[in-house]
Chains A and B, each alone.
Chain A
Amino acid sequence: KAGVTQTPRYLIKTRGQQVTLSCSPISGHRSVSWYQQTPGQGLQFLFEYFSETQRNKGNFPGRFSGRQFSNSRSEMNVSTLELGDSALYLCASSSGTGVNQPQHFGDGTRLSIL
């Protein structure tokens, strides 16, 4: 069974630009969650999508947005990039049909802001 696939693996951007990251969940999984991982802050929850609807949202500014498509693939967009947005962005999928389903992670997209 293929795992969670995130593209691209690495990205370099400059301040003020915007970026879109992509996540393909495990086949059959309908929930996709996004996390930001930094050495200082650990894993911080961004948002979760289920059946094309945002079901949960973390405490990040509106520059961070996402969406989910009918095939459960998800994208995350960050606009007006800041130096502090440099991080590993992880996507995790689960079946989403019951509470407390375990999440399975992709290998992430490492975003560097110059």
Chain B
Amino acid sequence: GQQLNQSPQSMFIQEGEDVSMNCTSSSIFNTWLWYKQDPGEGPVLLIALYKAGELTSNGRPTAQFGITRKDSFLNISASIPSDVGIYFCAGSSGTYKYIFGTGTRLKVLA
């Protein structure tokens, strides 16, 4: 099935460092979503983006809707141990259907 390219695949960072990850598509999207998934649980919505260039924060995570509408970025400032998990991006072109990225696995070293 179709998937978005998400990078990096995994990250090991020290507590307190900033985290950056991105998602790219060959198609234009109208909506970008970012989710975090903890082990044994379903993905939890972090941020929703609806307009090219839009920058939205939800506490420490901040996400941006790329100008080309083919990419999106997620940044987490001053990481803490509970940030560990898998982060997914998802995009939609307005068909009531979302395509998901391959995920970025984040590990935070205390």
Q: Are A42 and B103 in contact (CB under 8 A)?
A: yes
Total CB contacts across the A-B interface at under 8 A: 66
Once the chains are docked, how many angstroms separate the CA of A38 from the CA of B88? 14
**A and B contact pairs by CB, cutoff 8 A, 17 listed:** A4-B42, A42-B103, A43-B88, A43-B90, A56-B95, A58-B1, A96-B96, A99-B92, A99-B96, A100-B50, A102-B33, A102-B45, A103-B90, A103-B98, A105-B35, A105-B42, A105-B45
Question: Which of B3, B40, B94, B97 has a CB less than 8 Å from the CB of A33?
Answer: B97
Q: How large is the interface on A (under 10, 10 to 19, 20 to 34, 35 or more residues)?
A: 20 to 34
Any chain A CB within 8 A of the CB of B14?
no
Q: Are B45 and A45 in contact (CB under 8 A)?
A: no
Q: Are A105 and B96 in contact (CB under 8 A)?
A: no
Q: How large is the interface on B (under 10, 10 to 19, 20 to 34, 35 or more residues)?
A: 20 to 34
Q: Give A residues with C-beta under 8 Å from B.
A: 4, 6, 31, 33, 35, 41-45, 48, 50, 55-56, 58-59, 90, 92, 96, 99-100, 102-108
